[in-house]
Amino acid sequence: MGPDYTEPLAANCHGFAVEMAFRVQIGPYRFRFPSLWPALLTLATLTLLLQLGGWQWQRAGEKDALLADFQRGGESGIPRFADVSAAQFDSLRFATVQIEGRFERSERIYLDNRTHEGRLGYQVLGVFRARGHQAALLVNLGWLPLAQGGREILPATSLPDGDVSFPARLKPISDPILALGTALDVRDGGRLVMPVMDRDVVSEWLQEPLLEVEALVDPSAPFGYARAWQAHYDIPPVKHRAYAFQWFAMALAVVLIFILVNTRRVVRPGPENTHFGENDD
């Protein structure tokens, strides 16, 4: 027996109560559309789950693009950073460039809670005056372990003197998810400790504008610390897709539960009952 649409969609408003009367008969089973509020709640839940799944799927695609850019960045030719304009930074994400200039300032930024080979430490950044650019460039010198005294004592660092030329990858400085506020951990007046990079905070601390990229010093450079650069993300693409499938599965479960809760098996007293009456509900 095929589907039997026994009643049209109907709505009767009595105050806030709205009755939806829509039935579908397939064999001995009848689906009846529920009242308005359970239907709206189900629709809202379904919409939310689908949006969450779609967002996770989109994030996976963004992480794939990030990894692809990082891999391509090490394979292309090496342009001079002095010839690269700020408008080209997006197209040169993670590209390797040759940087020329000098470390004119002694301030250093320590990015806390960075790991290398399973050990905790800092990534250390210096302030660099790159040839061809007016704003300062943050140069990531690499990773250093925590000092013997823990976080109370910062590891000692040094910067090269005079003009230097070195290859480095260009990494965009993205805005932090949470604002750091005004509470800064400044040591000895010239060393700033931060959990995440915040370009606006560092620029205000230095009292000068910064370029929208940081330079990851290549391991072949004659200065710096431990450098094993890789595309950094907290959640890999495969996990984003796993989360997306979970949200989509929950959305499917909501649809199935909605159908099962509103479906009844019709029991007829005898073959002479060939129509649907009120007792069939």
Is residue 166 scored above 90 in pLDDT?
yes
User: 3-class SS at 58?
Assistant: helix
| Model pLDDT, residue 9 | 44
User: For residue 39, what pLDDT is reported?
Assistant: 84
Residue 34 to residue 263: CA distance in whole angstroms: 10
- The full DSSP string for 125-193 is EEEEEETT-SSEEEEEEEEEEPBTTBTTSPPP-----SEEEEEEEEEE-PPPSS---S--EEETTTEEE
Tell me how far apart the alpha carbons of residues 3 and 118 are, in angstroms, rounded to a whole number: 62
Per-residue pLDDT tens over the stretch 81-130: 998 888 888 777 778 889 999 998 989 999 988 888 888 999 999 999 99
Number of H helices, E strands in the chain: 3, 14
Q: What angle do CA 91, 94, 100 make, to 5 degrees?
A: 95
Q: Is the pLDDT of residue 156 over 60?
A: yes
For residues 22-32, average pLDDT:
73
Q: How far apart are CA 281 and CA 278, in angstroms?
A: 6
203 pLDDT band (50/70/90 cuts)?
very high
pLDDT tens string 83-97: 888 888 877 777 888
SS3 3: coil
Task: Tell me what the mean pLDDT of segment 244-259 comes to.
Answer: 92
Domain ranges of the chain: 1-33+262-281, 95-217
pLDDT tens digits, 50-85: 999 998 888 887 777 766 666 665 555 678 899 888
pLDDT at 207: 93
